[in-house]
Amino acid sequence: MDSRVGEEPLQRWRITEEDWDAPDGAELRAAQRAELDARYGNDDHEPGAAPTAADVAVFLVARDERGTAVACGGLRPLAPGSAEVKRMYVRPASRGSGVATAVLRELERAAGRLGVTRLLLETGTAQPEAVRFYEREGYGRIENFGPYAGEPLSLCYARDLVARRA
């Protein structure tokens, strides 16, 4: 959002909730898929069902000062009180700018509004930047859950949001 949040610096991005199928979000997700296909050497690197408009409760897109969509992320509800972070992606030119943290914090706020107290996520062994990012942002490694159980390329993380508010 375009305001100061806690100790975070003034945001340079406008983060809005958008329809899953809106063009900018679809373009960002396609870029993410292409990058992951290249990293993993195939297009079959995501266990379980891919997220859809029907099961993603919140989808955010971040735009820079020019209005260009530079990052996205979504929430897919799981069991009551929990949701999975899906399709977190930042265009390479915007990496290191803080936009990923801004999107993640907005997803955490949206999760709170939905009554979610625990966020889970999956990333992969060929994504060391994502692993460092989530660990830096307070997500702890957990046993692989749901469709990721037993998957050797999957790394799962979680964060309890209640502890953050205390």
pLDDT 10s digits, 132-163: 999 999 999 999 999 999 999 999 999 999 75
Q: Return the structure tokens found at 99.
A: 């936009």
* pLDDT tens digits along 6-55: 344 446 899 999 999 999 999 999 999 999 999 988 877 778 888 999 99
Domain 14-165 has CATH 3.30.1950.10: no
Asked if 57 and 27 count as a contact pair (C-beta separation under 8 A), the reply is no
Q: Return the structure tokens found at 23.
A: 């063009």
77 bridge partner residues: 83
Q: Return the structure tokens found at 145.
A: 């859950």
pTM reported for the whole predicted model: 0.89
Asked if 11 and 23 count as a contact pair (C-beta separation under 8 A), the reply is no
For the chain, state the CA radius of gyration: 15
Give SS3 for 150.
coil
Biggest alpha carbon–alpha carbon distance for the chain = 43
Asked if 150 and 144 count as a contact pair (C-beta separation under 8 A), the reply is yes
- Residue among 95, 108, 94 at smallest CA distance from 137: 108
